[in-house]
């Protein structure tokens, strides 16, 4: 299988993204900064435009500290580090298999109902699911400069 790119993920349908997530292993908990891409309305011709808008004005990615088991999100046009989450491995709400959980419930008043789940789909690429109080919202991907170790 050829390595996937962010552009390929933006062209996938929701069922294809779910299948890719389900068939992937969690991989190691990442460390360092990742460029984030929101995947909203997957499989439509709006997906890329929405992703570009979100990355310019709202969310640019995440910065992980694997040793401390935390991350911060890079948000706003200025790329502020904010909205902290704890990071650990647990069962996915999608399929019950192991994933990496990004848990905001104890670290953020703003996002305390949010839970992200990620799995590694390439040497420097993770696919994620966002939940709001157990309701699935959107998908996203994280692209690291260096492969996870």
Domains of the chain, earliest start first: 6-144 (2.40.160)
Predicted TM-score (pTM) of this structure = 0.92
Among the residue ranges 54-63, 74-83, 121-130, 135-144, the one predicted with the least confidence is 74-83
Residue 60, both tokens:
């640019």
- Spatial CA neighbour of 28 closest among 122, 93, 92: 122
Has residue 79 got a pLDDT over 90?
no
Residue 64, both tokens:
């992980």
pLDDT band at 76 (very low <50, low <70, confident <90, very high): confident
Mean pLDDT of 96-103: 98
Mean pLDDT of 89-93: 98
Phi, psi (deg, nearest 5) at residue 17: -65, -45
More confident residue, 77 or 55: 55
Residue 122, both tokens:
């390439």
The whole-chain average pLDDT of the chain stands at 92
- Spatial CA neighbour of 44 closest among 115, 139, 141: 139
- Reported as a single tens digit per residue, the pLDDT across 31-57 is 999 999 999 999 898 999 999 999 888
> For position 21, what pLDDT does the model report?
98
Has residue 106 got a pLDDT over 60?
yes
Mean pLDDT of 23-31: 97
Using alpha carbons, list the distances in angstroms from residue 53 to 6, 37, 56, 121: 15, 10, 5, 24
- Spatial CA neighbour of 20 closest among 90, 88, 120, 89: 120
Q: Note the Cα 104 to chain centre separation in Å.
A: 13
């Amino acid at each position: 299988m050829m390595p996937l790119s962010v552009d390929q993920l933006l062209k996938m349908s929701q069922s294809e993204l779910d299948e890719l997530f389900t068939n992937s292993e969690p991989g190691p908990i990442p460390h360092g900064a990742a460029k984030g891409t929101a995947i909203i309305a997957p499989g439509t011709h709006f997906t890329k435009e929405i992703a570009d808008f979100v990355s310019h004005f709202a969310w640019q990615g995440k910065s992980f500290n694997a040793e401390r088991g935390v991350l911060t999100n890079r948000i706003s046009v200025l790329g502020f580090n904010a909205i902290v989450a704890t990071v650990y491995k647990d069962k996915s709400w999608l399929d019950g298999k192991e994933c990496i959980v990004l848990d905001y419930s104890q670290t953020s008043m703003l996002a305390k109902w949010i839970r992200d789940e990620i799995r590694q789909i390439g040497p420097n690429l993770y696919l994620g699911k966002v939940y709001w109080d157990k309701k699935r919202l959107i998908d996203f991907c994280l692209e690291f400069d260096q492969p996870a170790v």
